[in-house]
Amino acid sequence: MKRIFVLLLIAGSVYLAACDNESSLPQATGKASVRAINAISTSQDINVLIEERTIGTAAYTLSTPSSRYDDLDYTFNVEAFYASDRAFRRVASQFIDFEASKDYTLLVSGSLQNADITVWEGDERSFDEADTVFEARFAHASDSIGTVDYYFADAAVAPTLGDQVATLSFGEISAPIDYEANEYVLTITAAGDPDTVMYRSETTTFASRSALIVTSFDSDATNAAPVVVRAISTLGGIVSMPDAGIPPTTEFVNASMDLGTTDIYDDELLTSQRVTNHAYLDQSAEIDIAADDNTFYYTPAGDTSAVLLEGSLPAFSGTRYRLVAVGTAGELGTTIVVPDRQPAETHAKLLIFNASNNYDFVDIYTVEPDTSVDDSLPVRVAVPTRQAATTVQLASGSYDLYVTELQEKVVLAGPYRIDVDIGDIVDSIIVDTVDPAVLDVLFLSGGPL
């Protein structure tokens, strides 16, 4: 009987200890919101995790989706993929002890080699159906412009010292401010100097019942403006706010053998010539164009008696475009491309545009030097004519580039020996030759030596 009693006491002690351990575990009392913003221009996409579970990816100047989690403590991890690796590489981590009803934003900045995380904390915002306002917080993620003043007002209101809504240095965010839903212009000036304008947005319409983080970033090579701004909704939407003072640009590439050598005008009366003697395979210099619907008129070089081709280009402020002439006689056209000009610190980039008229689809191979495609897999399959393939990411090294028939090992163009380092960009266009069975590759940058 004594032995049984002792065993019962031990069992009871274990049960009470287990109950005590359970009661000591943290208990959630509510939830909080979180997202991450990518402010590393050379990063491509970053992968953001809560502990070891992915919550989203974000390209430069963009945000992961907003998520809500229990008010416990978590470690957030940021990863990036390097072309030389087989798995994602962890580049930064941040511990956060969540409070219920709080809103957290992780600003990931610096470089992938030395990434920083700044945590912006605010209160979750809710709106009633009858509310006519939106909430704005102003944030500074542009490392090149120093301390600045933000002005946010009607387009007719000029910046006046004392009217700024925030004075911010890099990594800072303002307190929230409510505004009536309407059209507004954001102006960024040197701190204390409203006459030194660094950025002024186009007039932008803001809807009611939204909470926004209006954030400045350094521009990248795809944009002609020195600063870009995004209004990032805490629910996940993004509004781009181009700089109204920076015109878009375009270059022209003649990838149509049948078009011949042309002059290019930007008015129907053919009085405003923008490019002259634009021959097959030529790449023009970049020119400023209107932030509007543009139409370009191609005429035979030195002859305005006929328009061979009209090319449309609706353009937004600051964006750098490329207009590619394509097609055959009777079916000439143009294709708009926004080339990925921004170097990455994780890989080299191979950009491929298929302008062939003789092959509707082609496959692309990048293989080790002096290696056949017979035992290799394509890096891009079924690249359609008049379209760009998604960017190919390459590790540093030498490659032979081939273009083949769709799902066949029949070589149409190549090999082209390309040598790349991290950050390089090989920009190429697949074009026809006088032999319909043979293609060629036009290298606009980073081609064979």
| Confidence at 26, pLDDT banded by 50, 70, 90 | confident
Which tops the pLDDT comparison, 109 or 330?
109
pLDDT in tens, 381-423: 999 999 999 999 999 999 999 999 999 999 999 999 999 999 9
Q: What single-letter DSSP state applies at residue 420?
A: E
> Is 2.60.40 the CATH classification of the domain at 29-124?
yes
Is the confidence at residue 1, as pLDDT, over 90? Answer: no
Query: Where do the domains of the chain lie?
Result: 29-124, 125-246, 249-336, 341-445
CATH class of 341-445: mainly beta
> Is 2.60.40 the CATH classification of the domain at 125-246?
yes
Is the confidence at residue 9, as pLDDT, over 80? Answer: no
Is the confidence at residue 130, as pLDDT, over 50? Answer: yes
Lowest mean pLDDT among 19-28, 81-90, 419-428: 19-28
Please compute the mean of the pLDDT values over residues 143-165 and round it to a whole number.
97
Find the angle CA(426)-CA(431)-CA(432) to the nearest 5 degrees: 155
pLDDT in tens, 67-77: 999 999 999 99
Amino acid at residue number 286: E
Q: How far is CA 322 from CA 222, 249, 250, 383, 386, in A?
A: 11, 8, 5, 19, 13
Residue 252 in contact with residue 264, Cβ under 8 Å?
yes
Alpha helices by DSSP H, 293-399: none
So what's the pLDDT on residue 10? Answer: 38
Residue 217 in contact with residue 60, Cβ under 8 Å?
yes
Q: What is the pTM of this model?
A: 0.90
So what's the pLDDT on residue 237? Answer: 87
Find the angle CA(348)-CA(352)-CA(353) to the nearest 5 degrees: 155
So what's the pLDDT on residue 25? Answer: 65
Round the average pLDDT of the chain to a whole number and report it: 94
Beta-strand relationship, 182-190 and 89-97: unpaired
Q: What single-letter DSSP state applies at residue 345?
A: S
Domain pair 29-124 / 341-445, same fold: yes
CATH class of 249-336: mainly beta
Q: Cis peptide before 248, with omega less than 30 degrees from 0?
A: no
Distance CA 334, CA 413 (A): 23
Is the confidence at residue 2, as pLDDT, over 50? Answer: no
Strand ranges, E, within 360-449? 361-367, 380-384, 387-388, 392-394, 397-405, 411-420, 425-432, 439-445
pLDDT in tens, 156-169: 999 999 999 999 99
pLDDT in tens, 209-253: 999 999 999 999 999 999 999 999 998 889 999 999 999 999 999
| Confidence at 427, pLDDT banded by 50, 70, 90 | very high
> Per the structure block, which two tokens stand in for 424?
């390089």
Distance CA 318, CA 412 (A): 37
Distance CA 160, CA 241 (A): 21
| Confidence at 120, pLDDT banded by 50, 70, 90 | very high
47 beta partners: 57, 79
Hey, how many other C-beta atoms are within 10 angstroms of the C-beta on 266?
Answer: 18
Residue 445 in contact with residue 425, Cβ under 8 Å?
yes
| Confidence at 7, pLDDT banded by 50, 70, 90 | very low
Cα four-point dihedral sign 136, 141, 145, 146: positive
So what's the pLDDT on residue 16? Answer: 39
Rg (CA), the chain: 28
